[in-house]
């Protein structure tokens, strides 16, 4: 049996998970939360991760009932993500790898989401909609690569939601997107917003600029409520994503769609705990890579903030 520990910390969540042949043994996590109206800065996020990462590591081992000697491989998020948090986690993973005398593996964050989704749902060959605070892509597997069929040409859908939450001072606890979703359930009036699909790609900066400029005017004049704006923004953004996902499914002849990433926790998707950034997803991708013979040498164990999904050779799939 192969046991892999995975370190994830590409954004405001720090997680460490342990996988043994498809079984999640532990998956503790901490989230860095800022006051309403504020985002999270890389330096502050990294400071948070440094403060708690050893505690989370201890929890992961204790919950799994394992010792360092039981671990076969140490996987960490190589990218994409925020530089300072990525470096913090990579340094700890490299140190652990050397202290424990275990092989090291740098994992693509997106592929971690995909492989965890495939494990949990048992989907065979799905078209993947990857939606998070930093990424928006429509992906399908072909010939040893996860091919990107469409993506955002500016900001990610989660970033659009987060920045709107700051405009109307929605709480970041537990996350801006979750709180937007709860408010959207109470919205009754649809406010027309820009809808920008360009072939297989989407653009969210225009809709964000529009709603940032119009929100306070509409709210102060009584044209609509904050709940109406949350409802309207969600409906418009998700309609754009559904359009390009359906188009990719038609092109691939696919009967399955897998939604991964933090925005996938919305009620419109399969809302399970593995959508949110977590260590187990990095462990699962690392497990697949390790079993197919991949290892990252110490001198190659850097981080890459812009690490494309389609850069990775998928050696573990036919």
Point out the annotated binding site for a divalent metal cation. 109, 113, 130, 277
Binding residues for substrate: 130-134, 162, 177, 181, 266
Which secondary structure element, helix H or strand E, spans residue 230, and what is its range? helix 226-252
d(CA 296, CA 279): 18
d(CA 203, CA 274): 26
The distance in angstroms from the start CA to the end CA of the chain is 22
d(CA 242, CA 65): 42
Binding residues: 109, 113, 130-134, 162, 177, 181, 266, 277
CA-based torsion, 265, 271, 273, 275: positive or negative: negative
Contact 279, 60 (CB under 8 A): yes
Q: What φ, ψ does residue 152 adopt, rounded to 5°?
A: -75, 145
Contact 63, 26 (CB under 8 A): yes
């Amino acid at each position: 049996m192969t046991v892999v520990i995975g370190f994830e910390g590409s954004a405001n969540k720090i997680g460490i998970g342990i996988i043994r042949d498809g079984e999640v043994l532990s998956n503790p996590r901490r989230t860095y939360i800022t006051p309403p109206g504020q985002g999270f800065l890389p330096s502050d996020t990294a400071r948070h991760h440094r403060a708690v990462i050893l505690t989370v590591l201890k929890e992961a081992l204790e919950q799994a009932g394992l010792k360092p000697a039981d671990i076969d491989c140490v996987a960490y998020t190589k990218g994409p993500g925020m530089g300072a948090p990525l470096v913090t986690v990579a340094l700890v993973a490299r140190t652990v790898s050397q202290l424990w005398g275990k092989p090291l593996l740098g994992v693509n964050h997106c592929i971690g989401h995909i492989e965890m989704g495939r494990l949990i749902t048992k989907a065979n060959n799905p078209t993947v909609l990857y939606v998070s605070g930093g990424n928006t892509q429509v992906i399908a597997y072909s010939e040893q690569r996860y091919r990107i069929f469409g993506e955002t040409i500016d900001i990610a859908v989660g970033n659009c939601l987060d920045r709107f939450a700051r405009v109307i001072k929605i709480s970041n606890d537990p996350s801006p997107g979750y709180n937007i979703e709860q408010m959207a359930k109470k919205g009754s009036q649809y406010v027309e917003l820009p809808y920008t699909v360009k072939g297989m790609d989407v653009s969210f900066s225009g809709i964000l600029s529009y709603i940032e400029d119009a929100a306070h005017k509409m709210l102060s004049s009584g044209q609509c409520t904050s709940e109406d704006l949350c409802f309207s923004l969600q409906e418009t953004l998700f309609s754009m994503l559904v359009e390009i996902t359906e188009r990719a499914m038609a092109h691939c002849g696919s009967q399955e769609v897998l939604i991964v990433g933090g925005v996938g926790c919305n009620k419109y998707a399969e809302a399970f705990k593995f959508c949110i950034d977590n260590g187990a997803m990095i462990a699962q991708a690392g497990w697949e890579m390790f079993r197919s013979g991949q290892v990252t040498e110490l001198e190659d164990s850097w981080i890459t903030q812009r690490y494309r999904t389609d850069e990775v050779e998928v050696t573990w799939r036919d």
